[in-house]
Structure 1
Amino acid sequence: MLLAGDIGGTKLRFGLFTRQRGPRRPLAEAVYPSAEHGSLESAVRCFLVGTGRRPTQAVLAVAGPVLVGTARITNLPWVIGESRLRRAFKLRSATLINDVEAIAASLPLLRRADLVCLREGMPVRRGNRAVIAPGTGLGEAFLCRDGRRYRAFASEGGHADFAPGTPIEDGLLAFLRARHGHVSYERVCSGIGIANLYRFLREQDPGQEPPRLAEALARVDDPVPLIVEKALDPENPCDICVRALDLFASILGAEAGNLALKILATGGVYLGGGIPPRVLPFLRKGTFAEAFLRKGRMRDLVARIPVHVIMNPKAALIGAAALGLGVESRTRSRSSR
């Protein structure tokens, strides 16, 4: 029996899987807020006690780089080791992988209902596929064929230097560089990033922030849900919140196009993570597509590349389970048909 997990900065998702049931039908599953547990071992123990079952192996997808069997969670104060997990839960094997690598591994197993298409494009059969996943932070990964099957690869591209593409983004870079020194794409294209975009726009014109919104933001630890809620208000959308999400969509489009060029993602670009499904109306506006296509001489190339939003919040769990079970879809993902 396999324990699979998606270990994020905000949520922890666990499932128990068998080869007979496959990676989409767990025997048991649970989700916990990351802040409720002081360590991964505590969260795993809570889950297993609740199921009354004992796995023999584990594959856990973690939000951060995995080096020599050890991971330091990017937005949590946790250090996780494979050997420590094996000893703690008497497992035959324990494997840590990057969480966006796990999302990439899930792509051949996703169904039409798991995806929303932003750009149809002209996908190349068996072409490379890219995943860019803004959540608490920003993750990137990709999927390439080795001649027989797809293999997922992790990256830490979200921490590469942010490159402004417009005058307002020039000002954003200066604003953040004065505060942080190095400005990565994660600083501007994630949950952390949305908060930074809002602060930048507010500083440009303090009078544009409604007093009630200022009061509400002062009462919460995480401003992003409120910013998104006010931007999507169908009757009275807040202008500064709308502008923040328009800027987010433009930056995400630009970096999605960058990633598509870097790995030649002729099979498609997939937007994962928790934020894209929540801000779908903004991704469907012209700002995302305009920035995605703004690639100079390579515009015609990226215009052929499909873009999908992954709507299934279990994609990383499915990918981790598929890798642990040795399962691979024998057919192309439905999104490429």
Structure 2
Amino acid sequence: MNKPVHIVADIGGTNARFAYVQADSNELLGIEIFPCAEFPFLRDAIRAYMERGHVDLIDEICLAVAGPVESDWIDLPNNHWAFSRAELQQSLDASVSIINDFSAQVLSIDTLSGADLKWIGTPRPADIQQHVVAVLGPGTGLGVSAMLSTGEILPSEAGHVAFAPTDEHECDLLKVLWQRYQRVSVERILSGMGLANLYWANCRLAGFERELTAADISAGAHAGDKYCLRAVNDFCAILGSVAGEVALMMGATDGVYVSGGIIPRLIDLLDEDLFRRRFDEKGRFREICAEIPLAIMLAKHPGLQGCVKAINVNKYRNMRS
């Protein structure tokens, strides 16, 4: 490329996804995925992406990062990268904007097509957003964000609220997990490490000690292993409940969307009726929750699409200012 382009990057706890878009285009080009652990610093990953031959000149770069973005110094809690936005901008000689990774997820919603979404239940969103939409997604951690009808983003750390059991089995799981954590947040259950925690806790309840990685648990569940299936079923049921809690805490009556890398890999094991029922079962607010659209995001790169949307929104605001 001999013309300046916009780089977009979705940086999670495990992987960094990169792409670029040309001026006046929303099409993602040159998509690459780099393991964060392979690079000491973020700028090394950016340089490696550019050296692949996709990009020579940068006009602007938008980074979606899994962590707080309010200050100049960005320290990612789920990987080893930390950096100054101002120093990175100077190093790259390009404008650098940084948004939370789940702000990017929620920005991507109106860019998704029908094939990018799997609806759970019958409610569907209105053609025009009038209230709040929310996204939550289990991956390396558990992210949550919401967007007002005005387009303003409500970032949050709702993934760190305390886990609330809904039945006796979940109470037993919590008692076991208290042996490992003084405080059990929902992220300790709804994440890659969370799936591993659920497997370990179910094995402890069965009277033996065993630990597996999230990838091995997923493979075991697909192979029919009893305890892997139990962990996956617990994971999906609790995710349904927490999605309903997010709808209430955010007032997200225009829709709740589940993203992240874990659920698409477990989609064939998901009990959709149970998932929807756990979303709806909110006591006095059951009738309200039952009318809220609920979908699983199947798009491969919603975070990158959200970064493109953020660049376009910033351009529009600059034109009006």
Q: Distance in 2 between matches of 1:26 and 1:78?
A: 25
Q: Secondary structure at the match of 2:183?
A: coil
Q: Residue 256 of structure 1 aligns with which residue?
A: 243
Task: Find out whether 1:136 has 2:140 as its counterpart.
Answer: yes
Identity of aligned residues (%): 33
Q: Distance in 2 between matches of 1:15 and 1:309?
A: 23
Q: Residue 62 of structure 1 aligns with which residue?
A: 65
Aligned counterpart in structure 2 of residue 273 of structure 1, from 251, 260, 264: 260
The Cα of 1:327 is off from its aligned counterpart by: 8.0
Range with greater deviation from structure 2 (246-255 or 64-73): 64-73
Gaps (5+ residues) in structure 2? 316-321
Task: Find out whether 1:157 has 2:158 as its counterpart.
Answer: yes
Q: Secondary structure at the match of 1:66?
A: coil
Q: Distance in 2 between matches of 1:27 and 1:18?
A: 8
Q: Report the residue type matching 2:273 in the other structure.
A: G
Q: Distance in 2 between matches of 1:105 and 1:178?
A: 39
Q: Which runs of 4+ in 1 moved over 6 A?
A: none
Q: How many residues align?
A: 308
The Cα of 1:177 is off from its aligned counterpart by: 2.3
Aligned counterpart in structure 2 of residue 42 of structure 1, from 16, 41, 44: 44
Q: Report the residue type matching 1:137 in the other structure.
A: G
1:63-106, CA deviations, whole angstroms, 9 ceiling, x for partnerless residues? 11212133221210221321121011111x21111111101001
Q: Residue 187 of structure 1 aligns with which residue?
A: 188
The Cα of 1:207 is off from its aligned counterpart by: 5.2
Q: Residue 242 of structure 1 aligns with which residue?
A: 229
The Cα of 1:228 is off from its aligned counterpart by: 0.7
Name the CA shift for 1:117/1:285 in 2 (closer, same or farther; >3 Å): closer
CA contact (8 A) 1:172 1:197 kept: yes
Q: Residue 323 of structure 1 aligns with which residue?
A: 310
Range with greater deviation from structure 2 (200-209 or 152-161): 200-209
Q: Residue 30 of structure 1 aligns with which residue?
A: 32
Task: Find out whether 1:145 has 2:149 as its counterpart.
Answer: yes
Q: Residue 222 of structure 2 aligns with which residue?
A: 232
Q: TM-score, normalised by structure 2?
A: 0.91
Q: Residue 319 of structure 2 aligns with which residue?
A: none
The Cα of 1:52 is off from its aligned counterpart by: 4.1
Q: Distance in 2 between matches of 1:29 and 1:281?
A: 27
Q: Secondary structure at the match of 2:190?
A: coil
Gaps (5+ residues) in structure 1? 218-222, 329-337
CA contact (8 A) 1:143 1:153 kept: yes
Name the CA shift for 1:70/1:153 in 2 (closer, same or farther; >3 Å): farther
CA contact (8 A) 2:258 2:295 kept: yes
Q: Residue 170 of structure 1 aligns with which residue?
A: 171
CA contact (8 A) 2:28 2:305 kept: no
CA contact (8 A) 1:105 1:151 kept: no
State the structure with bigger RCO (CA 8 A, min sep 6), 1 or 2. 1
Aligned counterpart in structure 1 of residue 101 of structure 2, from 84, 99, 102: 99
1:90-148, CA deviations, whole angstroms, 9 ceiling, x for partnerless residues? 11x211111111010011111111111112215344131110110111000011112xx
Q: Distance in 2 between matches of 1:141 and 1:27?
A: 26
Task: Find out whether 1:82 has 2:69 as its counterpart.
Answer: no
Aligned counterpart in structure 1 of residue 25 of structure 2, from 14, 21, 26: 21
Q: Distance in 1 between matches of 2:244 and 2:15?
A: 28
Q: Distance in 2 between matches of 1:19 and 1:54?
A: 12
The Cα of 1:304 is off from its aligned counterpart by: 0.4
